[in-house]
Amino acid sequence: MADAPKSTPIRPGAALGLLGGGQLGRMFTLAARNLGFRVHALDPGHDCPAGQVADLEIRAAYNDVYAAKALARGVDVVTVEFENIPAETLAAVAGLRPMHPAASVLHTVQHRLREKSFLAEHGFPVTPFRSIDSLTDLQAAAAELGLPAVLKTASFGYDGKGQQKLTSPADLAPASAALGAQQGILEAWVPFELECSVICARSEAGESCVWPVAENAHRNHILDTTVFPARIPAAVATRAQAMALEIAAALGVVGMLTVEFFLKPGGELLVNELAPRPHNSGHATIDACVTSQFEQQVRAVCGLPLGDTALLRPAAMANLLGDLWPVTGEPPWERILAHRDVKLHLYGKLEARPGRKMGHLTALADTPEAALAKVLAAREALKD
């Protein structure tokens, strides 16, 4: 049987469409422009982070099918910054231009029950879970899975939003009431040693690559710091990387996929969540790797050869949240820039709010511990 014909790569000089204009879109756009591409970004916000650096900013809601079609007609390929794009918009775009990742991938991962069911059906290890549509469902699931457990909304949850930890039977009725008419998912409580993530890329031709495992620490359900490489046994890291690539192939991802894991005592890995895009835990790849996750997204969706993912040196990243901003004005950035071996990345967001990701710091060093100490010291300098 003859090989299927390969699609023609989309070469520098072409225009790329982007659904979403936040910080991930901004860094994608900067990487695309470095390669000589133009970028058209659609986002409902005014002067969004990606729009500030894109060639064209289309201000429209994500359910504005007319605007999405206008975006698609002006570009050669479309990609996404986040997964929660309405199905009608995705269908309209895919009818006009190639779109990566495909609508089918986004359909699976934008709903926790579909995502967990997909993983379980394909043999990937996940936390025990149950579908929740009523208080009766919740009571039965809590009896089966035990307490504590975590109740999540099935859709539109990130950075801990839409999650409730249930510790006793008395929590069930209030949690069900808070869930309201939304569908939920109850997940068994997992005692874990650490959280880690693997970012991989996959092209339409099936070429794939993976970055070193990232070790993540959260504060208030929001990623606080990441170190590369994760301080875990080599065999566990190899298994996590292999599993991420297997999941990407099973989903049929073209573009990026981030797989978040819980590492349990004894080295057991459980898949927590998927994101078919670049990820906060991969921001250090801009400064620490031969090819960043954002450049790789450009390469993958354009059908170009994938770049080298080698880590140049151990690295760490620390998020900068809106909590660091004074009531008036900007933080004294010169205090961070005085740390001459720390890189400052700001996202151009117009309003700082507690918990909002406004930027990040990256540092390289001889060890992950030394890199982490550098970014934490630089961030702490803002508080003096």
For the residues of 28-84, what is the DSSP string, one character each? HHHHHHHTT-EEEEEESSTT-TTTTTSSEEEE--TT-HHHHHHHHHTSSEEEESSS-
Q: What is the pLDDT of residue 155?
A: 86
pLDDT top residue among 260 and 158: 260
Residue burial 248-283, b: 16+ Cβ < 10 Å; e: rest: beebebbbbbbbbbbbeeeeebbbbbbbbbbbbbbb
Dihedral through CA 235, CA 236, CA 237, CA 242, nearest 10?
90
Q: Does domain 15-99 have CATH number 3.40.30.10?
A: no
Task: Name which of 17, 27, 39, 160 is nearest 89 in CA terms.
Answer: 17
Mean pLDDT, range 161-177, rounded to an integer: 91
pLDDT tens digits for range 48-103: 999 999 999 999 999 999 999 999 999 999 999 999 999 999 999 999 999 999 99
Mean pLDDT, range 107-126, rounded to an integer: 97
Residue type for position 301: V
Looking at residue 345, the DSSP 8-state letter turns out to be E
For the residues of 222-264, what is the DSSP string, one character each? EEEEEEES-SS-HHHHHHHHHHHHHHHHHHT-SEEEEEEEEE-
Mean pLDDT, range 338-343, rounded to an integer: 98
Q: Is the pLDDT of residue 224 over 80?
A: yes
Residue type for position 21: G
Q: What is the pLDDT of residue 7?
A: 74
Return the percent helix, strand and coil in the chain, to nearest 5: 35, 25, 40
Count of CB atoms situated within 10 Å of the CB of 291? 19
Question: Which pair of tokens denotes residue 199?
Answer: 């970012």
For the residues of 143-183, what is the DSSP string, one character each? HHH-SSEEEEESBS--TTTTEEEE-SGGGHHHHHHHHTTS-
Q: What is the pLDDT of residue 162?
A: 73
Q: How many whole angstroms separate alpha carbon 303 and alpha carbon 297?
A: 10
Please list the residues that pair with 216 across neighbouring strands.
Answer: 195, 226
pTM of the predicted structure, to 2 decimals: 0.95
> Could you tell me what percent of the chain has a pLDDT over 90?
92
The average confidence (pLDDT) of the chain is 95
What is the residue extent of each domain of the chain? Answer: 15-99, 128-188, 194-383
Residue type for position 207: E
3-class DSSP assignment, residue 358: strand
Question: Which pair of tokens denotes residue 246?
Answer: 């297997």
pLDDT tens digits for range 3-17: 444 579 999 999 999
pLDDT tens digits for range 236-254: 999 999 999 999 999 999 9
Task: Name which of 198, 197, 208, 199 is nearest 300 in CA terms.
Answer: 208
Task: Specify the CATH number for 194-383; select among 2.40.160.20, 3.30.470.20, 3.40.50.2030, 3.30.379.10.
Answer: 3.30.470.20
Q: Which CATH architecture has domain 128-188?
A: 2-Layer Sandwich (3.30)
